[in-house]
Homo-oligomer: A and B are copies of this chain.
């Protein structure tokens, strides 16, 4: 690993710790500013950031155990940089992110439950199917990596279909002052999630650079899909609270 790669992974992991720690506090503190109907959505935003904060702390620790910068050289200790933390984290955060969006729309209790359950179930299957392929980085294993990618794409497309087609009429039932914002939040989620399957395929494009690219790529994608998405959910909740909706 080059010094610049070490610095890039090191600083992006620390940046994620600070971002998720701060945003978690933000959502919990600002929860008092929204109407009771939206407090659960804010709680979930805070929890998702807290879970991400924890996993980034662990990843940073694991990275520092594996590599160190001594006299301008990157040295390896032999311990492994455990990137499974990402999948363990996503297993919790991905379903919760989808629930945030469903909750902030304030559908009927039955609809919230049925839509929520389907999305949560699909999200869990997606993360589980993607995991076994993540570790396959050698040239001979890329075929298997592609297979797991394809399998995980099935629930992924099911989720996208639900967020686009199925959610359309629900968005039209939202108060006028937030329809645009709800639609933007949905597209931010779809847009930022689209990065993950692309990053997953990096080793097929450039095997040498892929390790660092994957780490920095996933980190940036997490900041958008968890942190910035959470801020949009907060803005929707606040506008709807102000409008008494």
Chain A residues proximal to chain B, CB less than 8 Å: 7, 10-11, 14-15, 17-19, 21-22, 25-26, 28-33, 36, 39-40, 43, 46-47, 50-51, 54-55, 58, 68-72, 78-80, 82, 84-85, 88-89, 91-92
| Cα–Cα distance between A19 and B7 once the two chains are bound (Å) | 28
| Cα–Cα distance between A2 and B11 once the two chains are bound (Å) | 28
Copies of this protein in the assembly total 2
| Cα–Cα distance between A32 and B39 once the two chains are bound (Å) | 10
Q: Which residues of B contact A28 (CB under 8 A)?
A: 29
Interchain CB contact (< 8 A) of A14 among B18, B79, B88? B88
| Cα–Cα distance between A50 and B18 once the two chains are bound (Å) | 9
Q: Which residues of B contact A55 (CB under 8 A)?
A: 18
Q: Which residues of B contact A91 (CB under 8 A)?
A: 15
- Contact across chains for A50 and B22 when beta carbons are under 8 A apart: yes
11 A-B contact pairs sorted by A residue (CB < 8 Å): A11-B88, A14-B88, A15-B88, A15-B91, A21-B50, A22-B92, A25-B46, A26-B47, A29-B43, A69-B80, A70-B79
